[in-house]
């Protein structure tokens, strides 16, 4: 089961304040532990929303909104993608994580959809296409 661990942004991360050397060291150790356990698929920190953009969809129209996204209460500052046996195991990994911010913070845990979650609507042709895409992406690493 794949889970995305979503690090919620803080006022400091949104202001572009970089993490301390101590926090970077602690996170490096944690990431190494995830990697050595064979559960880490990806993980990155994100620049503040002021450096981002959003594309809004309305029918066939698209509009671009540049950051920062001050009207949003919960922004994302980073993430991990892990592959574990259960939500409980994902929770245990998150509980071992150093506090990702220099202040109170939160990490959200969300399961990633797998092909079998989509039922009959995910036809054999769509499954084959998904597999081709995954193989292509894996070959680029």
pLDDT tens profile 28-61 = 999 999 999 999 999 999 999 999 999 999 999 9
> Taking the CA of residue 113 as centre, how many other CA atoms within 13 Å lie in the half-sphere pointing to its CB?
7
Q: How far apart are CA 46 and CA 52, in angstroms?
A: 10
90, two tokens: 């994902």
Average pLDDT value over all residues in the chain: 94
Chain segment 3-28, per-residue pLDDT in tens: 999 999 999 999 999 999 999 999 99
Of 14-18, 70-74, 128-132, which range is least confident?
Answer: 70-74
Chain segment 74-100, per-residue pLDDT in tens: 899 999 999 999 999 999 999 999 999
Q: Greater confidence, 138 or 95? A: 95
Chain segment 106-124, per-residue pLDDT in tens: 999 999 998 889 988 999 9
Q: Which pLDDT does position 139 carry in this prediction?
A: 85
Which residues lie closer than 8 Å to 73 by C-beta, 6 or more apart?
none
Residue 69 has pLDDT above 60, yes or no: yes
Domain boundaries, the chain: 2-115
Q: How far apart are CA 129 and CA 10, in angstroms?
A: 39
CATH code for 2-115? 3.30.70.1060
H or E element, residue 8 = strand 2-8
């Amino acid at each position: 089961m794949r889970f995305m661990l979503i690090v919620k942004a803080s006022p400091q991360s949104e202001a572009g304040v970089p993490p301390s050397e101590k926090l970077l060291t602690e996170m490096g150790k944690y990431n190494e532990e995830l990697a050595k356990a064979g559960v880490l698929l990806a993980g990155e920190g994100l620049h503040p929303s002021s450096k981002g953009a959003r594309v809004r969809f309305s029918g066939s129209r698209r509009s671009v909104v540049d950051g920062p996204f001050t009207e949003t209460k919960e922004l994302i500052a980073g993430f991990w993608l892990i592959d574990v046996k259960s939500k409980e195991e994902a929770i245990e990994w998150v509980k071992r994580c150093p506090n990702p911010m220099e202040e109170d913070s939160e990490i959200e845990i969300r399961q990633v959809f797998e092909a079998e979650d989509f039922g009959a609507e995910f036809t054999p042709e769509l499954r084959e296409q998904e597999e081709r895409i995954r193989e292509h992406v894996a070959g680029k690493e």
